[in-house]
Structure 1
Amino acid sequence: MPEWPEMETYRKLLAERIVGQPVTQVEVTRPKSINVEPDIFSEQLIGRTVLFVERRGKMLLFHLDNGKRLLLHLMLGGMIRFGPPGEIQDRSVQVAIGFPAGVMCFIGLRLGYIHLYTVKEVEAHLAKLGPDPFDKRLTFERFKKLFAGKRGSLKTTLVNQQVVSGIGNCYADEIAFDAGIRPDARISELEPDTWERLYNSMHSVLKEAASYGGYMEMPLTADDTLTGGFNDRCRVYDRDGQPCLRCGGTVERGEINSRKMFFCPSCQKGR
């Protein structure tokens, strides 16, 4: 599932192509992917201009000039493609939105969705979403308070979108590795000096991953060479059986609450 770096990459690339552009066409082949009738969805979008594209955790918000919002959550298996009309020939395109610069196609939205909301509806839908990792109000002290009283493991808490938004399986493992902590370490057992390492690692890992387009190789356009560039730079995720890039030990794979985890038992011992 796309996480913070993947969706931030999509946000930047899409903003370059559709901000200030009016919607020229809409096609819905899977009504379950939207939240209103297809004809109403089209009527509300055609002729409207995208003012800007915002990211909220793992989701994107398209702000329209009529005050409405499009909320996109790709979930597992979803992706976005953008290109000239007719270029994207994929039978699994559920929703396509056309602009003068090209067509934005949403593919594989079996679990994901793109919903049309008012501002009030969006805020209600996202009311329980945790703060963004780079929210200026997420100070170190507030970060620690978000985890206060939590009884689970580090990884299960990091991927809880009501605690901090945008972090999923891949980056929870990468953050834990960077901070020198096992993903299955109990929150209640973490040492006081661990929190600052964790806070700093969250920022540095996500920032680096976004600069390389995230780890998921799902290019937005035919000539997109950025998206997925972090895949070869992951330190532990999906690297089980390979040498640790920090200490030379062997990266192992485990499981926490039905989630896979990757870590180096030789150098991730801190709590």
Structure 2
Amino acid sequence: MPELPEMENYRIQLSQLILDRPITKVTVGRDKSINKDSADFIREVTGTRIIFIERRGKHLLFHLDSGRRLLLHLMLGGLLYLGTDEDKPGRSTQVEISFGNQTLYFIGLRLGYLHLYSAKESDEFLSDLGPEVIDRRMTEEKFIQLFAKRRGALKSTLVNQHVIAGIGNCYADEIAFEAELRPSSKIQNLSRDDLAKLYHSSLAVFRHATDHGGYIELPLTKEDKLTGGFNDLCRVYDRAGEGCIRCDGVIEKSEIGGRKVFFCPKCQHDK
């Protein structure tokens, strides 16, 4: 599932490619991927322009010049591709938004969605999301206070979107590794120093992952050489059986709360 770095990569690239271009055609291939009658959805979006792209957690918000917003959550298996009919991937698309000869293809929206909302509706929809580590208003002290009263496994807390937004399975494991903590560590057992290290580890992992285009392998465009660059840079996620890059341990795979977990049992400490 795309997480904060993947969606931030999409936001940055699409902001350079589709802003202020008139939407010339909208195609809906799956009614369940949108929240309105398809004819109304097409009518309200066609002819508008996207004037700003915002990211909130794992969501993208496409601000239209009509005042409406398209709210995207890719969920598991969701992808984006911008190109022509000739070079689009051989994958089923649920929604297509065209800008002249180029089309933004929304792929794999079987669980994901693209909803059309007013500004108020989109704000209400996202209102229960927690803050983000990379928000300029977040500080080490605020982060410590945010986690200080929580209980439960570190992994489960990091992926809880009501606590902190944007972290999923992959980056929860990568952050825990950076902080030298087991994903199974209990939040209530972490010291202030542990939480401070967790905060700075989160920043470091997100910046590194975003700079390298996240872990999605499909490029956003035919010319895109950035997207997916972090896939080979993950240090523990999906690396079970491989040697640890930090010590002579071997990465193990486990499970917490129904989620797979990857960690080094030698240099990550349980609390």
Aligned counterparts of 2:160 and 2:91: Cα–Cα separation in 1:
33
SS at match of 1:180: coil
Distance 1:85 1:244 in 2: 43
Q: Which residue of 2 aligns with 1:176?
A: 176
Q: Is the 1:25–1:97 Cα contact (8 Å) retained in structure 2?
A: yes
Give the equivalent residue in structure 2 for 1:258. 258
Q: Which amino acid aligns with 1:245?
A: I
Q: Which residue of 1 aligns with 2:144?
A: 144
SS in 2 for 1:96: strand
Distance (Å, rounded) in 2 between the aligned partners of 1:135 and 1:147: 16
* 2:17 partner SS: helix
User: Residue 247 of structure 2 aligns with which residue?
Assistant: 247
CA distance in 2, matches of 1:166, 1:227: 18
**What is the TM-score of this pair, normalised by structure 1?**
0.97
Q: How far does residue 89 in structure 1 lie from its aligned partner after superposition?
A: 5.7
Aligned equivalents of 1:89 and 1:253: distance in 2?
Answer: 32
Matches within 5 A, 1:112-191: 112-191=112-191
Q: Indicate the residue corresponding to 2:6 in structure 1.
A: 6
Cα distance change on mapping 1:219 and 1:107 into 2, 3 Å: same
Which segments of 5 or more consecutive residues in structure 2 lack a partner in the other structure? none
**Distance in structure 2 (CA, Å) of the matches to 1:230 and 1:89:** 21
Amino acid at match of 2:69: R
1:198 corresponds in structure 2 to 198
For each residue in 1:71-118, what CA deviation from the matched residue of structure 2 results, as whole angstroms up to 9, or x when unmatched?
000000111111024432645101000013610010110100000000
Q: Aligned to 2:182, what secondary structure does the other structure show?
A: coil
Q: Does the 8 Å contact 1:78/1:112 carry over to 2? A: yes
Distance 2:228 2:91 in 1: 23
**Deviation at residue 145 of structure 1 after TM alignment:** 1.9
TM-score (norm 2): 0.97
Q: Any conservation in 2 of the 1:3–1:166 contact (CA below 8 Å)?
A: yes
Long gaps (5+) in structure 1: none
Q: Are the aligned partners of 2:87 and 2:222 in contact in 1 as well (CA < 8 Å)?
A: no
2:128–2:162: 8 Å Cα contact kept in structure 1?
A: yes
Find the aligned partners of 2:226 and 2:87 in 1 and give their Cα distance: 20
Over 3 Å counting, the alpha-carbon distance change for 1:61 and 1:8 in structure 2 is: same
Q: Distance in 1 between matches of 2:218 and 2:176?
A: 25
Instruction: Give the C-alpha shift of residue 202 in structure 1.
Output: 0.3
- CA displacement 1:51-87 (0-9 Å, x = unmatched): 0111111010000001100000000011111102443
> 1:48 maps to which residue?
48
Q: Distance in 2 between matches of 1:188 and 1:162?
A: 18
Q: What residue in structure 2 maps to residue 220 of structure 1? A: 220
